[in-house]
Structures are given as structure tokens and as C-alpha cells.
Amino acid sequence: MSSRKKKSSSSLASEPGPQPVATPDAGRARVPRRIWVFAALDLLFALLYIGVVRLAHSADGRFEALTVIMGVAVLTAGVGLVVRKPWGWYAALAGCAVVLLGALTLTVLLAISVGYLWAAFGSIGRGAASMCLIFIALIVECYVLLPAFQVAWLLSPAGRRVAGVRERS
């Protein structure tokens, strides 16, 4: 057996060295890094949407209006995540839902355009239709992925717990 004696916890506390310091946040749960990543991405995408409004123009302005609404919605989602309160959870969920609904609307309209261009304009229409398909792929990347992952996390038990929303039974 070992000839060493085991040190008691009281003797360990009296030894010199760094001791744990009680902080005001010691009892509070640590904020998951995911919240800050989502909030930063939401801010970045809101700025991207505003940039799209300044670069792309439509004849009647509906695209710009929809993009501004989506930018405000994604910013609302980011703010809702950061506050970590039940109303913020609902605001984040609503903001993501608005972005997903807008992306679905835009995708459906472009898909209708693909069908029309393909059928009505021959080979030139097929080229334009393939460009519309590329735009649909870009819409999925720019408008759908972030809010979809965010909604998936918000509806998870971890997302509900962080916001203080009761889990469904």
C-alpha cells in the first residue's frame, strides 16, 4: 500500500494557490455558444438582404419589399435569441417562419417562371429557365438554410430550455 496519506478537503483549502472565486453569475446557466453564432449570422444575413435590395431591382418593387421584410424578420429572430426570454423565443420562431414563407413564395414563383420559359421560348427559354433554376438553388442557400436550422434548434428541448419555454410533453 501507499505510504502517502490522502489529504482531506479542509487541508486542501488551506494550501496556497488559486482558489475558486464566487462570481455573481455562478448560479446562472452558461449561455450556449450557438445563440451567439445564430445571432451573428442573423445580423450578417439581414445586412446581406439589405445589400440585395440595393443591388437588385424589380419593375414594381415587390421583390425589394419582400426582401426588406425578410431582413427585418431575420433581425427579429436574432434579437429574440439573444434576449433568452419566452417572448424572444416566440419572436425568433416568428421571424424564421416569415423568412421561410417568403423563401417558399419566391421559390414557387421562380419555378412557375421556369415552366413558362421552358415551354414558350424554345432553346433561349431553356437557357433562361436554367438560370432560374440556379437562382432557386441560391435562394435555398441564402434564405432557407439558416432559418431552417434555427427553427430546428428553437424547437429542440435545448432551445426551449435556454429561452425558458416549457417543453412539450
pLDDT in tens, 79-124: 998 998 889 999 999 999 999 999 999 889 889 988 888 888 888 8
* Greater pLDDT, 13 or 152: 152
Phi, psi torsion values for 5, nearest 5 degrees? -95, 145
Residue 8 pLDDT = 53
pTM, two decimal places: 0.73
What residues does each domain of the chain span? 33-160
Confidence band of 141 (pLDDT split at 50, 70, 90): confident
**How far does Cα 39 stand from its chain's mean position?**
7
Q: Over the stretch 14-50, which tens digit does the pLDDT of each residue have?
A: 555 455 444 555 445 677 788 889 899 999 999 988 8
Report the C-alpha dihedral over residues 61, 62, 68, 71, rounded to 10 degrees.
-140
